[in-house]
Structures are given as C-alpha cells and as structure tokens.
Structure 1
Amino acid sequence: MALPQTRFIETTLRSPLMQLPVRTVVFELEKGRVLLSPASVLTAEQLQEAGPVTDIVAPSLMHTAGMKAAAKAHPTARLWGPIGVRKKLPELTWHGQLDVDPWPFGRELSLHPLQGLPKLRETAFLHTASKALYLTDMVFNIPEPKGLAAWLFFRMFGTYRRFAVSKLFLRYVKDWPAFEDSIAKLAALDFQHVIPSHGDAVLNEGKPRLLAALRERQLPA
C-alpha cells in the first residue's frame, strides 16, 4: 500500500487467544512529521526509522500504550492526545489535547473528533494529499483473523472477516445525538480511502463502503 506523503508501520499485538494487527502511520507534512497512533509493540529501531518526528498523536484513549516508548525515541516531539489523556498518563509532558488546543496541521491533516464517547474520545484524521480517512477502533477489516478466540471476538462484534463498524465500539456511545451528528459530518467529508488501525485498508472504494457500513448500524450516512 502506497499513499502520498505517508508511511505505514505494520505490527501485530499477540496474545494466547488472538492476534490483532495494528497500524502505525507516519505523515510527512510540509512543516512537520506526525507519528499517528504508535503501537505498543513497536521496537526502538522501528520508532527511530520513522524519521525526525515532530509530533506524536494518540488518537483515542484506547491507543495510548505506545506513547511512552515513542516519546522516549523522539524526545523533542510534541505529544497530543484526547481529553483525559493527561489524567491517564500524567508522567508524560503533553503539548495539547485534540479538539481543545490549536492543531497546527489542519490544512494537510485535519482532525474530526467523534463526540459522545467519553471513555474512548476517538478522533478521525483526514489526510488531504491522499484523500485517506484514518479511523482507530470504529471500524475493523480483518479478512483472515488468527487465534483461538478470534472467531468468537469478531463474530460477537459484527466484524468477522469483513469491513464493518464494531458493535463493541458502539457500546461506548453515551450521547447518541452528539455521536450521530459527528458521524454525519464524517460521512460528508471528501475522501476515497479508509485506513483502519486494525485490518486491511479500503482503497478507492473507501467512502461508499464506509457509508454502507454506517447504514448497516443505522447511523447517518
């Protein structure tokens, strides 16, 4: 998979019951290099290979486990995370909170918070140069799940061997009007590709497939 100004670092989170693919992304922007969602299993070498990172982003409260190692590998980088991240990881020095403090890369990499999820605080990102929409845990797309419990887990949450909105993710919604409003805004964005944190990217047909996945869960699309 090759997209403009973008590099992917593919890793796998392994447990006795399941293997979960995890995607970390590096964006080479005009005035910065952004490391998005560093995986907890990235090695020091992989983190250094990301290049001169200026900013490191945790896109949700569920994707913070790799921030300590990433900050250590790139000590001058600014750290960004959702509301609540300072309380979750007080030992790190956070530069800003997503959707609160000014984000300096909005023209090239715009952020789109999904509201109504106080325990997750997921933020989607739209990369202008490639027209790619990045989602963290809202959608999964793992065609060949591995592990003894993979069948049970992905079946339970409606994502077994298919691109779909996770039913587990929807269980975290506490304010449905706010969530549906943010989903409607997300669906209106101009994008061609959908890049989930877990599973295969959906290239070229990303928008129609995401809209179909949203409609399947009776969400605005």
Structure 2
Amino acid sequence: MLEQVHDALWIAEGENVSFYGAPYPTRSVIARLENGDLWVWSPVRLTVDLRADVDRLGPVRHLVSPNKLHHLYLKEWKAAYPEAALWGPQSTIKKRSDLSFREPLTDNPPHDWHPDIDQAWFRGSFAMDEVVFFHRPSGTAIVADLVQTFSDRFLRKHWGWFRFLARLDGLTQDQACAPLEWRLSFINRAPARKARGKVFSWNCQRVIVAHGEWVRTGGHALLRKSFRWLGA
C-alpha cells in the first residue's frame, strides 16, 4: 500500500473519487518527522491494509488538509488516531465545522513540524486557497490542486472522449497546471506570487501531487513551469 520515496517519506495511492462527475485519482503523503511522529497529508481512504502499514511506521500525530477540497477522509483518520491533531487553512476549518482543528495554517509552518517541513500559502483567489508543503530532508514539494498532471493513459481509461476537457483545463501531464477556472479566480495575484517566490527558493528535487503522475526528478523546473500563469 505504501511506496517509499525517501528514508522518511512515503506515498499512499487512494481510490478514484468523483469531482463534478469526473474521476480523480487520489494520493496521500506520509512523512516521519525528526521526533518520530507521523505527518499525514491529504489522507486517502483508510483501509485495513493501509492502517497496518502506517502503524508500522510510527505514531500518527498530524492530519493535514492542504485546501478545502481535501477533507473527505479526515474524520475516519481522526477516529482511528484520536491523538492526532487536525490541521488546515481557514477555508477547510470553516467547511468542516464538525471537526476540531488546531490553528489555521498560513505561510509559516507550526513549530510541530518546522524542522522538517516548510510551507507556502497561495491565496488571492475568491474561490480557493492552498498550502503547498516542502519536505526538507528529501527535497520534495507536496502539492494538491495547484499542480495536476493527468496522464494520457489515465484519461483514456477513465475520461474517455471527455479527456479533451482536461487538456482545455490545463490538467494534462505536459501542462501541469491548476484548473483554468481556479487560475482565473486569482483576482489579487500578489499574495500568490509571494508564495511562488518562496516555493522557488526551495531546493526542490521532486514534486508529489495528489492528482496525476508525480515527478521524481527536475522538481524545480516543473514548479517554474506550473506557476508560469501567475505572471511576473
């Protein structure tokens, strides 16, 4: 169930979920922090096998939603790991008022994971915001919806004739963008450009995304390509 990316970083592939009728692949990232605690980003469905694999890695202490769309399985993970803290930007906290979160995530990483993980808060859109993370020990950027890289194979299998919509939206592997409608919603781009500058300062070797093919090398170049829509 788990694929090891680095000594302290793993990914878990989840099921396809429906987003406005379109199948989306899902992926979670699990980092083992310096103190041994586990940090779980965008949790996927918690199966019996996945839980067994996770429990072998260490104690789950942080459950992280990067934006208000990545919240589906927080409740079941919290039930399984009641001692874990829930984290997310204010938009997630507002959407999931049934759950008790720690303070909202912003540009500055909490002291709980600051030595291991940095973050940048992309905002300025009237529709969405997202916190992008960087796992320092492995040089890995972790992105939810701001970078989507659907392969042609996945689109042919799951989207069929409607795969042209993914290309129009900029979601294909060669374009690696956020959806067009989200890009257009950034009326105030100054905060997002500031976040992009922070992302570009990271020594990024790879990029793990929630939706699509993740990039094992040339991570910095991909990020520069993916965020070109923000302009100068």
Which band: TM-score by shorter chain? 0.7 to 0.9
In structure 2, distance between residues paired with 1:178 and 1:203: 28
1:104 aligns with 2:112: yes
Specify every segment of 5 or more residues in structure 2 that has no aligned partner in the other structure, as ranges: none
1:188 aligns with 2:184: no
In structure 2, distance between residues paired with 1:125 and 1:90: 24
Aligned Cα RMSD in Å? 2.3
Note the alpha carbon deviations across 1:88-139, whole angstroms, 9 max, x for none: 1121111221127834211101121112135422001100110000111011
In structure 1, distance between residues paired with 2:124 and 2:51: 32
Match of 2:131 in 1: 123
1:140 aligns with 2:148: yes
Identity of aligned residues (%): 22
Aligned partner of residue 25 in structure 2, secondary structure: strand
Report how far residue 68 of structure 1 moved: 0.9
In structure 1, distance between residues paired with 2:140 and 2:109: 23
Aligned residues: 218
1:114 aligns with 2:143: no
In structure 2, distance between residues paired with 1:24 and 1:6: 11
In structure 2, distance between residues paired with 1:150 and 1:47: 35
**Greater Cα shift, 133-142 or 101-110:** 101-110
Match of 2:31 in 1: 27
Query: Following superposition, which runs of at least 4 residues in structure 1 exceed 6 angstroms of deviation?
Result: none
Report how far residue 156 of structure 1 moved: 2.2
Note the alpha carbon deviations across 1:187-212, whole angstroms, 9 max, x for none: 22221111111111111211112213
The residue type equivalent to 1:109 in the other structure is I
164, 175, 185: which is aligned to 2:176? 164
Specify every segment of 5 or more residues in structure 1 that has no aligned partner in the other structure, as ranges: none
Seen in structure 2, the aligned counterparts of structure 1 residues 161 and 116 have a Cα distance that, compared at 3 Å, is: same
Aligned partner of residue 40 in structure 2, secondary structure: strand
Aligned partner of residue 164 in structure 1, secondary structure: coil
The residue type equivalent to 2:231 in the other structure is L
Is the Cα–Cα contact under 8 Å of residues 194 and 206 in structure 1 kept in the other structure?
Answer: yes
Seen in structure 2, the aligned counterparts of structure 1 residues 123 and 113 have a Cα distance that, compared at 3 Å, is: same
TM-score by length of 1: 0.87
Higher helix share: 2
Note the alpha carbon deviations across 1:124-180, whole angstroms, 9 max, x for none: 110011000011101111212222365133122122342421223313323112222
TM-score by length of 2: 0.84
In structure 2, distance between residues paired with 1:87 and 1:19: 26
In structure 2, distance between residues paired with 1:112 and 1:88: 21
